Amino acid sequence: MITVKNQEQIDLMRVAGSIVAETLELLEAHAKPGISTKALDKIAHDYIISRGAKPSFLHYQGFPGTICASVDDVVVHGFPSDKPLEEGQILSIDCGAIFKGWHGDAARTIAIGKISPEKQKLIDVTKASFFEGIKGLKEGSRLGDIGSRIQTYAEKFGYGVVRDFVGHGIGRQMHEDPSVPNYGMAGTGLKLKSGNTIAIEPMINMGSHEVRINGWDHRTRDGLPSAHYENTVLITESGCEILTQVSPEGRAILTRKLEAE
């Protein structure tokens, strides 16, 4: 079932979304060569708890962390590990939080130290493909419109758009209907309504779109790097709103925290 959220529910999702966006900014400030993704995971866990929320991912279907930490050719769902990050790697961080029963979900790929221009371009195009995907998005848009825009944009650069994992509805559950593919045909698929909330999350590979799936281990088949960019998005009558962005209150809290470190 595809749910429509009311104003009160949307307000709670905005808080959850801000906490997720704050956490991602906090992690970005700490993600340097030498730190482990387990250390980043602890920072995320403690921050989410300090904000009165709960990590969505921890123990979800047995997942062991607060964040998914996917390095280089790992597409998504990487387990936080003790291995120190290295200069030149790219790290996709996916994070979710539950606030008063409502979820926020977002992901960013970031550079560890100095990275190659090729990797930077992959990160930039992946982020831009998300913003292409939400262009013109509003009540009455179809799911295929989003996927088609993302796919057309990313493939112009010769990149592969991952098929094995897709975006999703979100709300009281982290994963709700519908599935939101990052590929497809404009004018097809489900028609969106005002009050729908969906996580749009292009996963873009530098090479082929193919993924080798082995349990929780999800790597590109060709070994080339992959990037991820995700936000939780509210559909409205006149457009859409990104719910996973830092609120003014969240900005003040995060700034105080970073200054205290």
Cα distance between residue 130 and residue 132, in whole Å: 5
Q: Which is nearer to Mg ion, 41 or 230 (CB)?
A: 230
Amino acid at position 247, single letter: S
Nearest approach, Cβ of 174 to Mg ion (angstroms)?
Answer: 7
Stretch that binds Mg ion, among 56-64, 126-134, 198-206, 239-247 (CB under 5 A): 198-206
Residue 199 interacts with Mg ion (CB under 5 A): yes or no: yes
Residues sharing a CB contact under 8 Å with residue 160, sequence separation 6 or more, in sequence order: 204, 205, 206, 207, 208, 209, 210, 220
Diameter of the chain by CA atoms? 50
Quote the CA–CA distance of 102 and 191 in Å, as a whole number: 23
Q: Which stretch binds Mg ion (CB under 5 A): 3-11, 35-43, 98-106, 211-219?
A: 98-106
Calpha distance 127→120 (Å, rounded): 11
22 scored as a contact of Mg ion (CB under 5 A): no
Nearest one of 230, 184, 197, 185 to 75, comparing CA atoms: 230
Give CA–CA dist 87/19, Å, rounded: 28
Of 41, 94, 132, 145, which lies in the binding site for Mg ion, with binding defined by CB under 5 A? 94
For Mg ion, give the closer residue by CB, 74 or 199: 199
176 binds Mg ion (CB under 5 A): no
Question: Which span (25-33, 58-66, 208-216, 222-230) binds Mg ion, by CB under 5 A?
Answer: 222-230
Among 72, 105, 132, 145, binds Mg ion (CB under 5 A): 105
Question: By the 8 A CB rule, do 55 and 80 touch?
Answer: no
* CB-nearer residue toward Mg ion: 107 or 125: 107
Positions that interact with Mg ion (CB under 5 A): 94, 105, 107, 199, 230
